[in-house]
Copies of this chain bind each other. A is one copy, B any other.
Amino acid sequence: MTPQRVTLITLGVRDLARARAFYESLGWRDTRPQEGIVFYQLNGLALGLFPLADLAKDQTRNMSDLGTGAMTLAINYGSESEVDTAYAAAIRAGAAGLKRPEKVFWGGYSGYYADPDGHVWEVAHNPFWPLSEDGSLTLPTDEN
């Protein structure tokens, strides 16, 4: 079964530096500098800023299809097989498959489906992001 969990919220952004500056103005501090993506540690989950073009590509959709408010809700799992199981369950439940789970360039395993209203969910296994017992995600930092 799909756990009642959201571990990463991704915001597609037109200008990464501008978006980061906005959240920095709100007092948010990202975990560590990375090329092309910005991550924030939230309360047991993370939020990422990701260029809209990259997000569209990642979802194998046209950028124009994402529209204002483009957003992905991610559920991370402990293994690739759990991702496959979750993806299959979503399709059985009526989700529209956008990308069957596959190994991805950042070293993980990820797929995308859309719920009946077009909300895009990512199911993923990230070997560099261990999950806590309670399903929450604590981003790695330089200290750990």
Number of copies: 2
Whether A28 is near chain B, meaning CB under 8 Å from some CB there, is: yes
CB neighbors of B among A1-34 (8 A): 1-7, 9, 11-15, 18-19, 22, 25-29
Chain B residue with the shortest CB-CB distance to A67: B67
Known: A19-B116, A67-B67, A119-B71. A4 touches B41 (CB 8 A): yes
Assess the B22–A115 pair: CB atoms within 8 A: yes
Residue A6 contacts which of B27, B47, B68 (CB distance < 8 angstroms)?
A: B47
Inter-chain contacts of A18 with B (CB < 8 A): 116
Closest 6 CB pairs of A and B: A1-B27, A25-B93, A68-B118, A44-B44, A2-B26, A67-B67
